[in-house]
């Protein structure tokens, strides 16, 4: 008896339905959500598809952004044979067999679209095997990859394809897809009478992090895990938390809570409270906030609240940004935590912030005076005749490497914008400013 034979007494096999993500896969561009920069009305790829002037191409984008779906739609709209090919399962032998079938189909007037999922997993020899068939027009190759094609696809093949970049779906787009799935009785969950709160659908959309497949799978698991009552399945927070294996946090990336939490993080850093900074950072990250949004705010904190009291603060924040870019999440969370704690413990000064604010005020309220002649470069004879550069004092020609030459416009001659504090490195900068003032007076 086979392990996969039906048990004794079983009258008929139950057909396992396809996953929700597969059932809800759009069949036409009108149903396709997202990537408007590629397939919106009048966009180059859409025009190419509608005019049936397709060439080989590569879709580069994150998981669940619609690469496979778009390839299938293209095949359907251009009446092409769609042959999916997995880089994980195929070798040179399988490639040659498929290419031979495609060549015969072409001779009979049938066009073949060869869709290669995860094309970055093919080695050089496997990629080379496609080249002659792409060149001869036996196939139209559509590759899909989550990795940069510049590094993962061989040059000759890359030069014969057009790369299109797909973006991760936004939470709003994912939420719309989930709403469609709840309503759709033919392909979605409509026949289950799922009642889903808008806020919970929004939580799933945030949790999915741009991946439609993850969003669909999460919704389906939560719906099937909810007990029917009075002919309905109500999506409950507890069930959803169990499916996600995480607690749902009150958070709306576009709403008030978004701004409340980033405000709490910023003010905790400013108040030199590393524990609070870590907590608010964790609240945002675990709720699905974009880590690059957080790191942008950390950079702002480094300049606004620390400034030159610790010049390394901005470097630490930039390093955290690069770490997140390089390793992604969840690994990048620790880089953000390291930066937040460093900024919280750094000496604080808003002297730079205040100085620039005063500059903004003066620029807005005063006349935009011309640059003093002695600070202009006399690059032509006429400029020299007009006095450009006359009276300029070259600092390096002086023993103290500074002069009493004024560099501000006349109306702002004695204005002082930057006034360092006694905090951290600014203590040394204050000494330097005092020394420069003494040297300028001595001249």
Closest CA to 117 of 89, 81, 97: 89
Assigned token pair, 403: 């002069």
What the block records as the tokens of 2 is 């086979």
Q: List the chain domain ranges.
A: 34-165, 171-244, 256-345, 371-442
Residue with tokens 């999506």: 235
Bridge partners, 229 (sequence order): 232
For residues 343 and 301, the answer to whether their CB atoms sit within 8 Å is: yes
How buried is residue 133: exposed, middle or buried, by Cβ count under 10 Å (0-12/13-18/19+)? buried
Of the candidate CATH numbers 3.30.365.10, 3.40.50.150, 1.10.8.60, 2.40.70.10, the domain formed by 171-244 belongs to: 1.10.8.60
- Per-residue model confidence (pLDDT) at position 250: 46
Q: Tens digit of pLDDT for each residue in 249-291?
A: 444 555 556 778 889 999 999 999 999 999 999 988 877 788 8
Is the confidence at residue 159, as pLDDT, over 60?
Answer: yes
Q: How many CB atoms lie within 10 A of CB 49?
A: 19
The mean of the pLDDT values for the chain is 85
Amino acid 2: pLDDT: 47
Encoded tokens for 136? 């001869």
CA–CA distance, 299 with 339 (Å, rounded to integer)? 9
pLDDT at 25: 92
DSSP 82-95: EEEEETTT--HHHH
The CATH code that applies to domain 256-345 is 1.20.272.10
Residue 340: pLDDT band with limits 50, 70, 90: very high
Express each pLDDT in 411-443 by its tens digit.
888 888 888 889 988 888 888 888 888 887 776
- Is 208's pLDDT higher than 50? yes
The pLDDT score that the predictor gives to residue 1 is 43
CA distances from 440 to 376, 398, 411, 419, 433 (A): 21, 12, 19, 17, 11
Tokens for 363, please give them: 């620029």
Residue 79 has pLDDT above 60, yes or no: yes
> Mean pLDDT throughout 162-170?
91
Highest mean pLDDT among 12-21, 26-35, 206-215, 280-289: 26-35
The pLDDT confidence band at residue 229, using thresholds 50, 70 and 90, is confident
C-alpha–C-alpha distance, residues 42 and 44, integer Å: 6
Angle between helices 274-286 and 256-270 (to 10 degrees): 160
- pLDDT for res 16: 66
Q: Which residues of 409-427 are buried (b: 16+ CB within 10 A; e: fewer)?
A: beeeeeeeebebbebbbbe
* Greatest alpha-carbon span in the chain: 107
Distance of CA 145 to the CA centre of its chain: 16
Return phi, psi of residue 112, to 5°.
-115, 125
Helix (H) or strand (E) holding 164: strand 162-165
Least confident residue range of 98-107, 205-214, 301-310, 345-354: 98-107
Q: What is the CATH number of domain 34-165?
A: 3.40.50.300
User: CA 236 to CA 52: how far, in whole Å?
Assistant: 47
End-to-end CA, the chain: 104
Residue-wise DSSP of 25-47: --SSTTT--S-HHHHSTT-HHHH
Residue 78's CB is within 10 A of a number of other CB atoms, namely 18
Please state, in angstroms and rounded to a whole number, the distance separating the CA atoms of residues 71 and 39. 12
- 3-state SS class at 331: coil
Query: Residue 270 is inside which H or E element, if any?
Result: helix 256-270
Structure tokens at 20: 């929700």
* pLDDT of 12 higher than 90: no
Which candidate, 398, 365, 391, 362, places its Cα nearest to that of 376?
391
The reported pLDDT for the residue numbered 281 is 93
**The pLDDT of residue 384 is above 90:** no
| ∠ Cα 184 187 189 (to 5°) | 55
């Amino acid at each position: 008896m086979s392990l996969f034979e039906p048990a004794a007494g079983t009258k008929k096999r139950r057909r396992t339905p396809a996953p929700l993500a597969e059932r809800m896969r759009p069949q036409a561009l009108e149903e396709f959500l997202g990537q408007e920069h590629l397939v919106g009305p009048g966009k180059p790829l859409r025009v190419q598809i509608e005019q049936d002037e397709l060439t080989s191409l590569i879709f580069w984008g994150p998981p669940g952004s619609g690469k496979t779906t778009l390839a299938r739609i293209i095949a359907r709209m251009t009446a092409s044979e769609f042959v999916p090919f997995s880089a994980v399962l195929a070798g040179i032998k399988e490639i040659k067999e498929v290419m031979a079938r495609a060549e015969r189909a072409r001779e009979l007037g049938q066009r073949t679209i060869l869709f290669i999922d995860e094309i970055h997993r093919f080695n050089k020899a496997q990629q080379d095997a496609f080249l002659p068939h792409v060149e001869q027009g036996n196939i139209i190759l559509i590759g899909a990859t989550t990795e940069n094609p510049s590094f993962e696809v061989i040059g000759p093949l890359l030069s014969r394809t057009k790369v299109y970049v797909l973006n991760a779906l936004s939470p709003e787009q994912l939420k719309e897809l989930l709403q469609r799935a709840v309503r759709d009785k033919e392909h979605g969950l409509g026949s289950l009478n799922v009642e889903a709160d808008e806020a919970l659908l929004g939580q799933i959309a945030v949790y999915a992090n741009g991946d439609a497949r993850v969003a669909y799978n999460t919704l389906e698991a939560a719906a099937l895990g909810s007990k029917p009552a009075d002919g309905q399945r109500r999506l409950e927070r507890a069930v959803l938390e169990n499916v996600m294996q995480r607690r749902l946090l009150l958070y709306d990336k576009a709403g008030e809570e978004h701004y409340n939490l980033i405000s709490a993080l910023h003010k905790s850093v400013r108040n030199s409270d590393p524990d609070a900074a870590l907590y608010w950072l964790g609240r945002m990250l675990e709720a699905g906030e974009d880590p690059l949004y957080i790191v942008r705010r950390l950079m702002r904190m480094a300049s606004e609240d620390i400034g030159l009291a610790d010049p390394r603060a901005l470097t630490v924040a930039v390093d955290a940004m690069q770490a997140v870019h390089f390793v992604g999440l969840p690994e990048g969370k620790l880089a953000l935590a390291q930066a937040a704690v460093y900024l919280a413990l750094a000496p604080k000064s808003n002297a730079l912030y205040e100085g620039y604010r005063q500059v903004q005020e003066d620029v807005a309220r005063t006349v935009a005076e011309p640059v003093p002649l002695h600070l202009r470069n006399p690059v032509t004879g006429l400029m020299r005749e007009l006095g450009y550069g006359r009276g300029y004092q070259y600092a390096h020609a002086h023993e103290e490497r500074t002069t009493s030459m004024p560099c501000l416009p006349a109306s702002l001659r004695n204005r002082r914008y930057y006034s360092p504090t006694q905090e951290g490195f600014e203590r040394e900068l204050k000494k330097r400013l005092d020394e420069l003032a003494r040297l300028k007076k001595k001249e």
